[in-house]
Structure 1
Amino acid sequence: MAEYLNWIKAAHVIAMVCWFAAIFYLPRLFVYHAMSEDKVSQERFELMERKLYRGIMTPSMIATWLLGLWMLYIGWDVYKTQVWLHLKLLLVVLLSAYHGICGAYRKKLIDDPHYKSHVFWRWFNELPVFILIAVVILVIVKPF
């Protein structure tokens, strides 16, 4: 199984990139949704948000988790003492919570597109950037 580790890593990175792409784009759609005034635009954003969340974001998150856990299983003897990995996993849990919050916000926007301002969504959109930076530093630099 260890001979496939590089393939698993590659698939994990691909899934993670897809997850982050969707997690960056969905709150951007929230910005436009909150700024929309007509019913046709609001329905269009509802559809786009649903397809992005269910069709790309959630499957990418699941794949990222499964592939990551598979790598963890393969290398547990090495990884179990690595502080950087424990911190990375904590950040991935936080990102997963952000993912869930996005899903809840998506549903609230259907009922009231203006319940939060587009400025809120612009700031909300920036939060996963910090997680991405920290995860990349932890995985590449391994400062601990």
Structure 2
Amino acid sequence: MQDILGSLYPWTKSLHVIAVIAWMAGLFYLPRLYVHHVENKARPDSVALFGMMEYKLLRFIMNPSMIATWTFGLLLVATPGVVDWSQVWPWTKAAAVLGMTWFHMWCAVHRKKLAEGRDEATGRTYRLMNEVPTLLMVIIVVSVIARPF
């Protein structure tokens, strides 16, 4: 198994990066859709359109890309010699990825609340929350590339 993981490493890493890009695109965009959704509550046609866009983004792009990110990431972790768990950076990255997953779930909960018309968050809340994936992305990239810890 270790030989297979080692020989597939470049492909696994490539697919991981592709999945991360797709996931991050959704994590950046979905809260912006929520801003427009809550700021156009008086326009039923707009609310319906935003609701459909939110559903499709989460269901068909974000969920599959999150699963692919985790799958290929775990395969990378299982590849011998890729991660030295005695260092701090993999733990920092893992914590940030868990934070990113929490944010994904937070977005999913709010999508459902918006669809049911019972979300009380404001456009300001969604604008602020839109910064969460950026902060986590910076932590992840610096942890993996610069390895300052």
TM-score range, shorter chain: over 0.9
Q: CA offset at residue 143 of structure 1? A: 1.1
Amino acid at match of 2:110: Y
2:86 equivalent in structure 1: 81
Q: 1: distance between equivalents of 2:56 and 2:27?
A: 13
Is 1:96 aligned with 2:105? no
Is 1:126 aligned with 2:131? yes
Unaligned runs of 5+ in 2: none
Amino acid at match of 1:26: L
Q: 2: distance between equivalents of 1:81 and 1:134?
A: 19
Q: 2: distance between equivalents of 1:39 and 1:77?
A: 51
Q: 2: distance between equivalents of 1:29 and 1:66?
A: 27
1:35–1:114 contact (8 Å) kept in structure 2: no
2:12 equivalent in structure 1: 8
Aligned length: 144
Superposition pairs of residues 34-49 of structure 1, within 5 angstroms? 34-36=38-40, 37-49=42-54
Q: Hey, which of these two has a bigger chunk of helix by percent?
A: 1
Q: CA offset at residue 6 of structure 1? A: 1.3
Unaligned runs of 5+ in 1: none
Q: 1: distance between equivalents of 2:82 and 2:28?
A: 34
Q: CA offset at residue 49 of structure 1? A: 0.2
Out of 72-81 and 94-103, give the one that drifted further.
72-81
Deviations 1:93-112 (A, max 9, x none): 11101100100000111222
Structure 1 length-normalised TM: 0.94
Is 1:29 aligned with 2:39? no
Q: 2: distance between equivalents of 1:60 and 1:74?
A: 21
Out of 75-84 and 41-50, give the one that drifted further.
75-84
Which of 45, 54, 66 does residue 61 from structure 1 map onto?
66
1:84–1:138 contact (8 Å) kept in structure 2: yes
1:34–1:113 contact (8 Å) kept in structure 2: no
Structure 2 length-normalised TM: 0.91
Q: 2: distance between equivalents of 1:77 and 1:109?
A: 42
